[in-house]
Structure 1
């Protein structure tokens, strides 16, 4: 397992621990984690709008660097979600990527 997945695993374990301490059931915890992906995507979308300056009230409120950081947040959040759902997340993701790439590359 590479360092990225080790870090993702540590984050997933920390969030699981936090939810257990709060008495949040596992299924609810996963549901909230999936919703977090949507929240992060919304922030990425907001950054694109800000980088393009399409909101006349806000103008150019973001940079493309902001967009990149928000997209990275989406990826991290999704990886944490997968790790919280599957103990074999790195292997599952690698196989899923192989299957997708075989169809599209």
Structure 2
């Protein structure tokens, strides 16, 4: 029986990816703020790929027909989420998780009844 090891916590993996990409860019001599800029551009690219996948799932391009499935769209949306988290971590380091939680609490308070909002602490 193959026992799978437990998955590492999300922010641990995001931190590892962030550190890897920052290290690679730093080795190439790219200044930190330029790295952040390039990472935001990468995020824009991922959003575009998700939009293209939606078009493919709906078959809106007559030359290509239905070239994607909704599973492809979901994968592209996941890529966008991962890239977003890596971008935050590259900018904020270990403070990224708390920063995201604070922004989520602020944004969700606008839409969710107070009893449904996550408790701070």
| Shorter-chain TM band | over 0.9
User: Superposed, which structure 2 residues align to 1:33-44 within 5 Å?
Assistant: 33-44=39-50
Higher RCO (CA 8 Å, separation ≥ 6 residues):
1
Question: Residue 50 of structure 1 corresponds to which residue in structure 2?
Answer: 56
User: Is the counterpart of residue 32 in structure 1 residue 7 in structure 2?
Assistant: no
Q: State the structure with more CA Rg.
A: 2
What runs of 5+ residues in structure 1 fail to find an aligned partner? none
Offset, 1:73: 0.2
User: Structure 2 residue aligned with 1:97, among 99, 104, 111?
Assistant: 104
What's the TM-score, normalizing by structure 1? 0.96
Return the alpha-carbon distance in structure 1 between the equivalents of residues 81 and 14 of structure 2: 11
Q: How many residues align?
A: 104
What's the TM-score, normalizing by structure 2? 0.84
Return the alpha-carbon distance in structure 2 between the equivalents of residues 97 and 42 of structure 1: 24
Question: Residue 61 of structure 1 corresponds to which residue in structure 2?
Answer: 67
User: Structure 2 residue aligned with 1:83, among 71, 81, 89?
Assistant: 89
Name the one with the larger helix percent. Answer: 1
Residues 5-38 of structure 1, C-alpha deviations (whole Å, 9 max, x = no match): 1100110000000001111111110000000011
What runs of 5+ residues in structure 2 fail to find an aligned partner? 1-7, 113-121
* 4+ residue segments displaced more than 3 Å: none
Return the alpha-carbon distance in structure 2 between the equivalents of residues 93 and 6 of structure 1: 15
